[in-house]
């Protein structure tokens, strides 16, 4: 049933979804709003300095600053997404077109903006394209147009286009079947790092310690990058560590991985760092400094990986 709902129309068949989507053209894309600050000299000067742009001699704002005057800033939600635009994106999500990418933006400048100009703006859903097939996947281009006004008179327009698409599953495309769950990439095991993977098989996380200068190192290398010595001993990590840094992976999706997930650089108690996953806490609970504990994750029949179990949010209350 759901496969039927998500089936793409055949060539020539009416695209009922498109008919639904195009009805949104002309409806608001954002709530009307006013600029956070009037056009002002300090902002013009900062922008010009950062971009290496000459400050216009007549004191006007460079035309390409158009969007600067409509930005809400990190805390604000001025001109937030309208109800109809939310519905349009929701309809696409519901039909399986769950990915989004910005494709292009086009600005037209109607009249220069000068310090003191009070900015107002609104945005409209200008058009929705018929279904298109791109290398990213099949989907619909949605164009919104923001009109920027100063003292009520049009100063410029900002068109922004996104593609809402259903991503191509490369593995399915290659094999013609989606039956097998894609497997995680295999580690490359060679003579320089084989000892590490032998340790993993015994549920030990081994790093190297230089025989000459005792510097610990990870990942495994044939020689010490402090003293150059090629002799070393393997040392089993205690398994205790902290999150030194991390990112949360959202996009692009890779087969066998289910975003969002946290990728952490874990600093072991012994001083070396390792890139791994944090388990046991939600991706948005991972924090720098979070204590973690080594464990081994069986990924599939052939692959086991060292990962780190996070301590949740309890540890911060204890500080
Ligand atoms: Zn050394």
Task: State in Å: Cα 208 to ligand 1 middle.
Answer: 10
**Binning pLDDT at 50, 70 and 90, where does residue 81 land?**
confident
Query: From ligand 1's centre to the CA of 84, what distance in Å?
Result: 64
Q: Which residues of 277-313 are buried (b: 16+ CB within 10 A; e: fewer)?
A: bbeebebeebbeebbbebeeeeeeeeeeebbbbbbee
CA 209 / ligand 1 centre spacing (Å) = 8
- pLDDT at position 278 over 80: yes
The helix/strand/coil state of 24 is coil
What whole-number distance in Å separates Cα of residue 45 and Cα of residue 98? 40
Confidence at residue 132, expressed as pLDDT on a 0 to 100 scale: 93
pTM score: 0.52
Task: Point out the least confidently predicted range of 15-19, 113-117, 174-178.
Answer: 174-178
- Please state, as a whole number, how many other Cβ atoms lie within 10 Å of the Cβ of residue 41: 13
pLDDT tens-digit map of 13-29: 568 999 999 999 999 99
Domains of the chain: 3-167 (3.10.129.10), 194-317 (no CATH)
Distance (Å, whole) CA 164 – CA 91: 11
Dist. CA 272 → ligand 1 center (Å): 14
pLDDT reading at 5 higher than 60 = no
For the chain, what percent of residues have pLDDT higher than 70?
87
Averaged pLDDT of the chain: 88
Q: Give the distance (Å) from ligand 1 centre to CA of residue 206.
A: 17
For residues 193 and 186, give the distance between their C-alpha atoms in angstroms, rounded to a whole number.
14
Q: Is the pLDDT of residue 83 over 80?
A: yes
pLDDT at 221: 93
Ion ligand 1 neighbours (CB, 5 A) are 210, 212-213, 215, 224, 226-227, 229
DSSP H helices in the chain: 2-6, 16-22, 41-51, 83-94, 170-175, 194-201, 314-318
State in Å: Cα 196 to ligand 1 middle.
Answer: 19
Name residue, tokens 């692959």. 303
């990915």: which residue's tokens?
99
Identify the pLDDT of residue 312.
64
Per-residue pLDDT averaged across 92-113, rounded? 93
Q: How confident is the model at residue 185 (pLDDT cuts 50, 70, 90)?
A: confident
């Amino acid at each position: 049933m759901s496969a039927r709902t998500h089936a793409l129309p055949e060539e020539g068949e009416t695209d009922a979804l498109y008919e639904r989507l195009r009805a949104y053209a002309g409806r608001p894309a954002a709530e009307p709003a006013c600029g956070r600050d009037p056009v002002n000299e300090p902002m013009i000067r900062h922008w010009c300095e950062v971009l290496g742009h000459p400050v216009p001699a007549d004191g006007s704002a460079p035309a390409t600053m158009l969007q600067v005057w409509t930005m809400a800033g990190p805390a604000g939600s001025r001109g937030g997404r309208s109800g109809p635009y939310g519905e349009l994106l929701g309809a696409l999500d519901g039909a399986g077109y769950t990915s989004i990418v910005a494709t292009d933006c086009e600005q037209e400048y109607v009249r220069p903006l000068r310090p003191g100009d009070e900015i107002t703006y609104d945005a409209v859903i200008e058009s929705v394209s018929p279904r298109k097939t791109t290398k990213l996947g099949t989907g619909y281009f949605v164009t919104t147009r923001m009109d920027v006004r100063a003292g009520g008179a049009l100063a410029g327009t900002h068109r922004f286009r996104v593609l809402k698409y259903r991503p191509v599953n490369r593995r399915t495309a290659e094999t013609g079947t989606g039956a097998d769950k894609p497997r995680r990439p295999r580690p490359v095991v060679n003579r320089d790092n084989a000892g590490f993977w032998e340790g993993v098989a015994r549920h030990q996380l081994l790093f190297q310690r230089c025989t000459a200068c005792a510097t610990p190192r990870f990942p495994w290398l044939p020689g010490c990058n402090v003293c150059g010595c090629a002799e070393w001993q393997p040392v089993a990590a205690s398994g205790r560590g902290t999150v030194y840094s991390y990112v949360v992976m959202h996009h692009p999706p890779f087969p066998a991985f289910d975003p969002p997930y946290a990728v952490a650089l874990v600093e072991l108690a012994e001083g070396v760092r390792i890139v791994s996953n944090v388990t046991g806490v939600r991706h948005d609970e991972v924090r720098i400094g979070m204590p973690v504990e080594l464990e081994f994750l069986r990924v599939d029949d052939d692959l086991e990986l060292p990962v780190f179990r996070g301590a949740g949010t309890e540890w911060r209350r204890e500080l």
